[in-house]
């Protein structure tokens, strides 16, 4: 089993869209009272045209993970994104790490996060931050194991529902060993 991670470009928009839809649905469908709102959100958020625009944006970095040549997951980083719960004006956001269900537990999430931490270290923000749904114990445990800590809460509305998220942060100086 070999994991390869590349920096994605606009030619990968459809692949990222497919991974995003499948992963989000698997993780969060049970939280939606109105399935139509979920489907509308997925179609809007993971539309290849919208993703291609996001891939072109200079502040965004998408990493695409392959396992044995097959697309398996992706990460999205926003280089300059501030969160009020983090006491620093130098921040980078990890907006997403999604791994397809059939590839979870194979080290893909860890490999993506390692690459994200390297990019953060090169970009020199004080903090790398993310948000994760408060009921996503698997993700919370994964991030805590990798040095992130809860720093606040965030609320996001999709359709008629509002969801609660933890804001988690990691000082970049701790992200990938020391510089010495």
Confidence of residue 115 (pLDDT cuts 50, 70, 90): very high
Stretch 76-95: mean pLDDT, rounded? 91
pLDDT at 94 over 60: yes
Would you tell me the crossing angle of helices 48-56 and 13-28 to the nearest 10 degrees?
Answer: 110
Question: Could you give the domains of the chain?
Answer: 3-174 (3.40.630.30)
Segment 154-170 shows an average pLDDT of 96
Listed range (12-16, 34-38, 150-154, 175-179) with the worst mean pLDDT: 175-179
Q: What confidence tier does 179 reach under pLDDT thresholds 50, 70, 90?
A: very low
Tens-place pLDDT, residues 18-69: 999 999 999 999 999 999 999 999 999 999 999 999 999 999 999 999 999 9
Q: What is the pTM of this model?
A: 0.92
The strand pairing partners of 108, in sequence order, are none
Structure tokens at 155: 């609320």
User: HSE (CB half, 13 Å, CA atoms) of 158?
Assistant: 21
């Amino acid at each position: 089993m070999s994991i390869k991670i590349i920096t994605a470009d606009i030619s990968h928009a459809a692949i990222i869209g497919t991974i995003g839809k499948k992963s989000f649905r698997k993780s969060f469908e049970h939280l939606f009272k109105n399935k139509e709102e979920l489907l509308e959100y997925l179609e809007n958020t993971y539309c290849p045209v919208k993703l291609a625009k996001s891939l072109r944006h200079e502040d965004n970095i998408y990493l695409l993970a392959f396992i044995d040549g097959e697309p398996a997951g992706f990460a999205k980083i926003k280089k300059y994104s501030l969160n009020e719960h983090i006491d620093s004006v130098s921040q980078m956001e990890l907006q997403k790490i999604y791994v397809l269900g059939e590839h979870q537990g194979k080290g893909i999430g860890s490999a993506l996060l390692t690459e994200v931490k390297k990019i953060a270290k090169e970009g020199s923000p004080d903090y790398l931050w993310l948000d994760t749904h408060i009921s996503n114990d698997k993700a919370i445990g994964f991030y805590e194991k990798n040095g992130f800590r809860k720093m606040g809460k965030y609320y996001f509305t999709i359709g008629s529902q509002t969801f609660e998220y933890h804001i988690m942060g990691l000082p970049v100086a701790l992200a990938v060993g020391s510089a010495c």
